[in-house]
Amino acid sequence: MEQLKQLIIKKTGLTDNHFEQLYSFMTQIWIDKNDCLIAPGRVCDFIGFVNSGILRYYIDKGGAEFNIDFHLPGSFASAYSSFLTQKPAIGYLQALEQTELFILKKEKYEELLKASDDWYKLAKYISDDYFLRKCKRQTSLLTDSAKDRFDLLLNTYPKIEQLVPQYHIASYLGIKPESLSRIKSLTYIKK
């Protein structure tokens, strides 16, 4: 929980007391590898903080999986648009390895926001993080080469290559695994 405490204090400007209050509202859960927290048609009623492990958010279209996002330790994870709108999710939030999460249910989140305007700092941090990652990825998919998208991925998710199977990374980049292998060989030859 030290990661969450540091994030709360350093990134949002909230205090130790805020952290203690938030922590008292959260529930610790473990998700086994390949299990899903969210599936299409279910409403997401939580925001999770990844303490350890890795999650991916993906969409299945006709049996093909398209990775949309990754959630590594120290990040928040949710089917965020479903969480905000309370409409069913369109994708899956799946553990790529055993993952420890601290879950904040929607009703507790709303309770915090009603208790003090200070909590909007945390809400803004979470919202901005999701929005900026989404915008960067969308823009990159439309304007960048596969190599540039790979570089952005490495910048956004340091050490992801050691944590996530290559076919998931290729899916996120919108390329075939063979193309990722070529990009990686060119990248590491130049270094």
40-90 per-position pLDDT tens digit: 999 999 999 999 999 999 999 999 999 999 999 999 999 999 999 999 999
pLDDT of residue 1: 77
pLDDT of residue 188: 57
Residue 110: other Cβ atoms inside 10 A: 11
What are the C-alpha distances in Å from 17 to residues 14, 24, 101, 164? 8, 11, 21, 35
Determine the Cα–Cα distance for residues 62 and 57; give it in Å rounded to an integer.
17
Q: Determine the Cα angle at 139 with ends 49 and 63, to 5°.
A: 70
SS3 call for 15: coil
Lookup: tokens for 152: 């952005």
pLDDT of residue 190: 52
pLDDT(115) > 60: yes
pLDDT(187) > 70: no
Residue 32: other Cβ atoms inside 10 A: 10
Question: pTM of this prediction?
Answer: 0.90
The phi, psi pair for 130, rounded to 5°, reads -60, -50
